[in-house]
């Protein structure tokens, strides 16, 4: 005989905390995952910004160098 057959159904009032807990665990797992991914995405965005800044600085420096070179 299976364990399911011998275990009586829990009353909805007693079963509800277990059902809520199961769905809450699932929600928590998804939220934690999305939060971790959002943090990584923010880091990538920061890297893109930094890359853009460095490129702008380089472009500005090159322009400045061109201006200072004497025209023959």
Interface ranges with another protein (CB under 8 A): 2-5, 7, 9-12, 15-16, 18-19, 21-23, 25-26, 29-30, 33, 37, 40-41, 44, 47-48, 51, 54-55, 58
Q: Among 49, 45, 68, 67, which residue's Cα sits nearest to residue 57?
A: 49
Q: Which is nearer to another protein, 40 or 63 (CB)?
A: 40
Judged by CB, which is closer to another protein: 44, or 63?
A: 44
Q: How far apart are CA 31 and CA 27, in angstroms?
A: 6
Rounded CA gap, 66 and 61, in Å? 9
């Amino acid at each position: 005989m299976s364990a399911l057959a011998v275990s009586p159904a829990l009353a909805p009032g007693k079963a509800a905390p277990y059902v809520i807990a199961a769905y809450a665990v699932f929600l928590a797992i998804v939220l934690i995952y999305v939060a971790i991914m959002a943090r990584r995405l923010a880091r990538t965005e920061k890297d893109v910004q930094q890359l853009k800044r460095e490129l702008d600085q380089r472009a500005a420096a090159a322009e400045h160098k061109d201006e200072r070179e004497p025209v023959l």
